[in-house]
Structure 1
Amino acid sequence: MNPEPLRRWLAQPKPSAHRFPYDRVVDVYQRYGKQLVPKTWTTLLGAARERLPEVSGPRRQVAAFLDAVLDKVDGRFDYRTYLALPLLPIPDPDSESEPADRLLARRDRLHVLLLSDLAAFELRGLDGTGTPLSELRPDPVLARKRLHHAVRAAAPALRRLSFDLHAADDPVALARRLVALACIDRTSDDRLALRTTMLPVSNVHDEWLFIRTLQTFELTFGLLAVDLSAAVTAVGEDRLPSAGIRLILAATLLRETAALWSLLATMQPEAFHRFRVHTDGASAIQSRAYKLVESLCRAPDTQRFHSAAYRSAPDVRARIRSGQISLDDALNAIRADHRTLGEVPALADGMQRFTAAVHQWRRTHYRLAVRMLGTERPGTGGTPGTPYLLHGRDNAVFGSRGPITAGNERS
């Protein structure tokens, strides 16, 4: 592919952020895979990064994009750059101030956009209209099954957004409807976000599924972290029923991810093993959003705090060191006043539902990892893999003190 558009952009005395040739760069990365992008392109992209101080207009988007596309060249490829997470508006408890309903609507909208993009990609493959990532394309039966689960995963968010897919037996027809609905209010910024956050390492078809599904999980865990932070605040302000309601909402959202696991389970093991050899350095144990959720439930013990998982999320470690209050801490403060939490039905219900949802999530994660990796193979990016998922940490969600607990089950 001709890099002339990028050269022309670089030749401008003051390059415009709005005119950066994102599409041409993304086309190259999707054609070759990040692992094999020609040096001509990475050299020019490095030059673009050097020009960032001279760029006119908002530079954050260009800077984050260049950070993602040059991670392999720089030797800092990780989970965050692999999924291009800084280019997605992931909810964060440090920056969100909107009411819960608006945050949920924002999450639902992006959730639908990500899944509709996956559906559109699979439909192009079925229709034979040409797609990038052409290796190991699934057969039509598997593709239809994948579309069925993509629609299922999007359905709860669509209902909350007041969209109706209409009943239909044909998963292809439903998927086309999903794509059409997602296009109704899709903006140019939405399109750019979808384009710049699909930077596969290979040319294997199923990597598109893998990346989009992991991004949807990150989106959900980001909102769960916001919900848990709000629940902690509510407990601290003695608004215990409000804390319980926020936990019930979080549990509902986490349970809805069950369809995402079914979707991810349609990934072909051969395809997964083909592209995962290029993902060394990136692992889901590096997920900042998951560490936030875990640490907001209860502070990790010393061994967990110093584990590879937490070392990969230094800002979460800093939050804990600076005195982050977990939900378990907040509840223990109330127990110290000899108050009975069991007398607040909404809170008891919320804790029990959220605990059950987390344990179910972990069990499903483990089962899928066993299917893809077996019981002894290392995980993505050379991490400990399935033995770690099952036995490598204390899986209690909250502590074991007081009348409302999650127990100390190892899922």
Structure 2
Amino acid sequence: MNPEPLHRWLAQRRPTTHRFPYDRVVDAYQHYGKHLIPEEWTTLLCTTRDRLREVSGPRGQLAAFLDTALDKVDDRFGYHTYLALPLLPIPDPDRTTEPADRLLAGRDRFHVLLLSDLIAFELRALDSTNRPLPQMRPDPVVVRKRLRHAVRATGPALRRLSFDVRAVDDPVALARRIVTMVCIDRTSADRLTLRTTVLPVSTVHDEYLFIRVLQAFELTFGLLAVDLTAVVTAVGEDRLPAAGIRLCLAAALLRETAPLWSLLATMQPEAFHRFRIHTDGASAIQSRAYKLVESLCRTPDPQRLHSAAYQSVPDVHARVRNGQTSINDALTAIRADHLALAQVPILADGMRQFTAAVHQWRRTHYRLAVRMLGTDRPGTGATPGTPYLLHGRDTAVFSDGDPSASGDGRR
């Protein structure tokens, strides 16, 4: 891969952000893998970052891209840079002010964009061998199964977005139809975001799947964190039915992610082990969105708060230590005991539904981790792995005294 376009861009007296050769840089990263990208490329990108003040145009996206691309060079490689999360529109309760319906529509739209991009990648690999990430490509039978699960995972969001997806027997034909429909509404900004958010560490085909599915999960958990923050507010304002409805909707959204696990399960274990050796330092234990969701349900006990799970997300750890209000805290503040909750059945039902959805998510995560890692191996990035997941997969979502803490989803 020739870095000449990057040389030419840097040679300009005042380069502009909109002319930065993103495509050529991404092509290089997908050709070599981030772990083995030649020093010539990273040196030029470091020079680009040093010259950002001289660059014309909005610099935020380019700065975030460079920080993601150079994380290994800077010894900052982690879960958020591996998945390029700063470049994705992850909902955040600290910054989000839009109403719930618009937030869901935004999440749905990008959820579909992420998965349709993955579908397009798999279709291109079926059609041609001259494509990025050529190592350990799955056979056509696995790809067809993968496409079927990917289509299922887009279904609820596509329907809410009013896409007309009529079922056909051939999963490949249906997958092509979805990609065509989604591409019609895709903007140049969407294309740039999708293009710059897959910088794999290797050239193993299945790593593309791994990255896109984890990004889709992060998108959903970001929205769930916003939902639970709204539930805390509603409880604090004594709008308990509204809190219950929001919890029911959050539970339904989390249940919708089930096909993502089936999709991820099509990843070849040997392919996963091939690229995970280069992911030291990046693990889902560092997921900020997931820890926000967990801590907004109930304040973690001291042992959990001081574990690697929360030490890996310092800002969430700080929020909890600084007195972040959880749903349990808000209920306690208004003396919402068993009798009070019984008088608001939609809230009790919402808590049960969300508890069951979280426990199912955790159990499925654990089963897939066992399939990929075994029962006693460390996780990605030398984290505790399956023993840690086994310990935490059925811990209470809300406090043990809540009606949601028994029944569905509790062992």
Q: Which residue of 2 aligns with 1:3?
A: 3
Q: Which residue of 2 aligns with 1:250?
A: 250
Q: Aligned-pair distance for 1:7?
A: 1.3
Give, in whole Å, the separation in 1 of the partners of 2:54 and 2:346: 55
Q: Which residue of 2 aligns with 1:126?
A: 126
Counterpart residue type for residue 316 of structure 2: V
Residue segments in structure 2 that go unaligned for 5+ positions in a row: none
- Report SS of the residue matched to 2:73: helix
Aligned runs of 1:143-154 on 2, under 5 Å? 143-154=143-154
Q: Which residue of 1 aligns with 2:59?
A: 59
Give, in whole Å, the separation in 1 of the partners of 2:339 and 2:364: 36
Give, in whole Å, the separation in 2 of the partners of 1:15 and 1:265: 44
Alignment TM-score, normalising by the size of structure 1: 0.97
Q: Aligned-pair distance for 1:12?
A: 2.1
Deviations 1:274-313 (A, max 9, x none): 0000000000000000000001011111111111111111
Deviations 1:143-168 (A, max 9, x none): 00000000000000000001121010
Confirm or deny: 8 A CA contact 1:68 1:81 kept in the other structure. Answer: yes
Q: Aligned-pair distance for 1:405?
A: 3.3
* Alignment size in residue pairs: 411
Q: Which residue of 1 aligns with 2:313?
A: 313
Q: Which residue of 2 aligns with 1:328?
A: 328
Confirm or deny: 8 A CA contact 2:298 2:326 kept in the other structure. Answer: yes
Confirm or deny: 8 A CA contact 1:137 1:205 kept in the other structure. Answer: yes
Structure 1 331/390 Cα, relative in aligned 2: closer, same or farther at 3 Å? Answer: same
Confirm or deny: 8 A CA contact 1:355 1:397 kept in the other structure. Answer: yes
Q: Which residue of 1 aligns with 2:37?
A: 37
Deviations 1:5-52 (A, max 9, x none): 111221222221111111110000000000010000000001111111
| More displaced stretch, 125-134 vs 164-173 | 125-134
- Report SS of the residue matched to 2:324: coil
Structure 1 116/338 Cα, relative in aligned 2: closer, same or farther at 3 Å? Answer: closer
Counterpart residue type for residue 288 of structure 1: R
Q: Which residue of 2 aligns with 1:224?
A: 224
Confirm or deny: 8 A CA contact 1:400 1:407 kept in the other structure. Answer: no
Q: Which residue of 1 aligns with 2:301?
A: 301
Q: Aligned-pair distance for 1:314?
A: 1.0
Give, in whole Å, the separation in 1 of the partners of 2:57 and 2:330: 44
Give, in whole Å, the separation in 2 of the partners of 1:398 and 1:89: 28
Structure 1 406/29 Cα, relative in aligned 2: closer, same or farther at 3 Å? Answer: farther
Give, in whole Å, the separation in 2 of the partners of 1:289 and 1:407: 26
Q: Give structure 1 regions of 4+ aligned residues with deviation exceeding 4 angstroms.
A: 336-339, 406-411
Give, in whole Å, the separation in 1 of the partners of 2:177 and 2:241: 39
Q: Aligned-pair distance for 1:403?
A: 4.3
Deviations 1:100-132 (A, max 9, x none): 110000000000000000000100111126320
**Percent of aligned positions that are identical:** 77
Structure 1 408/383 Cα, relative in aligned 2: closer, same or farther at 3 Å? Answer: farther
Q: Which residue of 1 aligns with 2:185?
A: 185
- Report SS of the residue matched to 1:204: coil
Confirm or deny: 8 A CA contact 1:124 1:130 kept in the other structure. Answer: no
Structure 1 369/59 Cα, relative in aligned 2: closer, same or farther at 3 Å? Answer: same
Confirm or deny: 8 A CA contact 2:296 2:325 kept in the other structure. Answer: yes
Aligned runs of 1:93-242 on 2, under 5 Å? 93-128=93-128, 130-242=130-242
Q: Aligned-pair distance for 1:335?
A: 2.3
Confirm or deny: 8 A CA contact 1:335 1:341 kept in the other structure. Answer: no
Structure 1 337/250 Cα, relative in aligned 2: closer, same or farther at 3 Å? Answer: closer
Structure 1 344/407 Cα, relative in aligned 2: closer, same or farther at 3 Å? Answer: same
Alignment TM-score, normalising by the size of structure 2: 0.97
Confirm or deny: 8 A CA contact 2:136 2:205 kept in the other structure. Answer: yes
